[in-house]
Structure formats: structure tokens, C-alpha cells
Amino acid sequence: MTVGGNALPSTFTTRTARTLGLHPRDLYRMRDDGELIELSRGVFRQADAPAPDWADLLAVAFRAPNAIVSCVSALVVHDMTDEIPAAVQIAVPRAHRPPRISYPPVEVFRFASVTFELGLSALEAAPGENIRIYDAERTVVDLMRLRHRLGEPLAHAALRRYLRRRNARPGQLLALADQLGVLGPVRAALDVASAE
């Protein structure tokens, strides 16, 4: 789909559409006519674009581009849990104001700026469209850091599933735990999991 000679990306925001010369009135008409799908307030996807694998994560990434998918949402992507989170869980730097997103529901965690991008990875949420997500190691360590809030059973189950993976890197897990200040709990959990 082109606007004023410029191609609209598969997923875009109202701001992008306006920059390309598409009036909001036309944007909403196109949505109402089924040419566009509104993923979240102000985030649209062309109806004929390939279906995203992670539509909610994609919508949140467009609404909060500096955020990183974390915790249980990242566990789901890394196939280390059978739980389905009630909200997309994202992390933002502590100094930033958390985004206000009503749909899809979002739960925001605030992490220290100095360690915020440790373990940063990318996920292709839709063909050719990457979003920011923590890697498996950072996700496990974050669950151990937040075990009192998210539940110890969840954190320990994630660690056990991580260790069963062919590409598990316990040394990397410990190094990251040290950088994030939870080396003791992660080492103790690793010892228990290894003894099982």
C-alpha cells in the first residue's frame, strides 16, 4: 500500500502514516473498510500483510519502542513455560516513565539503566519485523530476581527447563546473575536443579 508515492510498512503508527501524508480520517476509514487492522491504539497493520506470530508483542513494541519484552512473556517466547501471562510483561529503564497501554494489557517492570540492555536479543514478531526481548539466560535470572513477586515455583521451573535445553549455558547464567546481584540465589537454585 502506498501513500503519496511512499510505501506504508506492514505495521506502522498513526505518526508514521501522518508523516507519509495519510490523514487520520483516511486511516480510520481504511480500518473500518478492513484494509487495516488496529493492533493497539495508534498501531496499525495492513490486512493483507503476513500474519504476525506475536501480534500482542508487536503492538506493545510499537507503543513502547524502548521497552524490552521480559519475564513470563519472554519465557513463553523461549518455550520455557506453559503459563500464559495475563498481560504482556515488559521492562523499561528505571529513569523512564512507564508506558500507559490499555490494550493489549501490559505489566511494566523497571530495571536499572546501567544493566538494562544486558541479555538484549531480538525476536521476529512478524516477517521482517524484529522486537526487543531478553534472551533465555537474562529471562531466567530476572525471574530469580523477581521470585518474591512472580513466584519461586515459576522461577525454579524456568531454571529447570532452561537447563534441559541443548544450548543451556550455566556459566553464562551465573555471570549474568553476578552482574545483576543475584549470584547467591541463582547458584543455590542451580545446585538444587543439578542434583535432581
Q: Using an 8 Å Cβ cutoff, are 134 and 91 in contact?
A: yes
pLDDT at 3: 56
* Single-letter code of the amino acid located at 170: P
pLDDT at 69: 96
pLDDT at 1: 57
Rounded to 5 degrees, what are φ and ψ at 82? -105, -5
Place of cell 552482574: 179
For 35, 44, 63, 136, 137, the CA distances from 31, given in Å and listed in that order, are 6, 8, 18, 37, 40
Q: Using an 8 Å Cβ cutoff, are 52 and 5 in contact?
A: no
Report if pTM > 0.85.
Answer: yes
Q: What is the mean pLDDT of each run of 10 residues along the chain (196 residues)?
A: 65 89 88 92 91 93 94 94 90 89 92 93 93 96 93 91 90 93 89 74
Q: Which of 35, 69, 66 is nearest to 55 (CA)?
A: 69
**Residue 82 CB-half CA count within 13 A:** 2
How far is residue 101's CA from residue 107's CA, in Å, rounded to a whole number? 9
How far is residue 75's CA from residue 28's CA, in Å, rounded to a whole number? 35
